[in-house]
Amino acid sequence: MENTSGQGSLAAVPPEIDRWNWGAFLLNWIWGIGNNTFIALLVFVPFVGFVMPFVLGVKGSAWAWRNKRWDSVEHFLSVQRKWAKWAAIIYLLLIALFAASMFFTFTALKNSDVYTLAVSRIEANPEAMSQLGAPITTGIPTGNFQISGPSGQADFSFSVEGQKNRGTVFVDATRDMGTWKIKRMELELEGSRKRINLNDTSTV
């Protein structure tokens, strides 16, 4: 078959390249610019942008063949494999960076003063420890943490599990002049709507 690449929308597309294109799907507009397929820029159009990556995945190879001159089918396939390879590398790096940022964020939260204060309050509460059973383990806190200089606000929850039972701890705390104070704290045991009041005047 003659080389019909770069001859426009009516050019015949070799059947061996008319298949799903991972580079076009994952890198969409970047891939489009690199392959003279500028219709890929539709990913920036509201609503259309949601479906365009899938359209590029299906039609991208044919469009790239017609829109750009290639030395041969083998050359085209080789370049598209490189696009797919780099797309996979970039996405894996992004996932790794996201996982690392989440790990460091959660580690910082678990080592924060207000979280440590909340855990110590559970361990110092006879009723809570009686219901949970020592020793206890606590989970990652989730919620809102806002700190501005010596002031701050924290409204969060975390799981807690002991030898007898498990539950969820709810905390509402404020930070004033660099010191955290828990305004309200409750333990809700699993399978029960009963909440144990853990309020006191602890600060840190």
Give per-residue pLDDT as tens, 150-194.
Answer: 899 999 999 999 999 999 999 999 999 989 999 999 999 988 878
CB–CB of 53/32 below 8 Å?
no
What ranges do the domains of the chain cover? 22-107, 112-197
**CA-closest candidate to residue 18, choices 5, 31, 28:** 5
Residue type, 105: T
Backbone angles phi, psi at 16, to 5 degrees: -70, -15
Its pTM surpasses 0.85: no
pLDDT for residue 200: 67
- Per residue, the 3-state secondary structure of 46-95, as one string, reads CCHHHHHHHHHHHHHHHHHHHHCCCCCHHHHHHHHHHHHHHHHHHHHHHH
Dihedral angle sign, alpha carbons of residues 96, 98, 104, 109? negative
Distance between CA atoms of residues 26 and 168, nearest Å: 40
Distance between CA atoms of residues 201 and 204, nearest Å: 10
How far is residue 95 from each of residues 20, 89, 90, 104, 120, measured CA to CA in Å? 23, 10, 9, 14, 34
Give per-residue pLDDT as tens, 68-85.
Answer: 999 999 999 999 999 999
- Contacts for 105-108: CB closer than 8 Å, 24+ residues apart: 106/140, 106/141
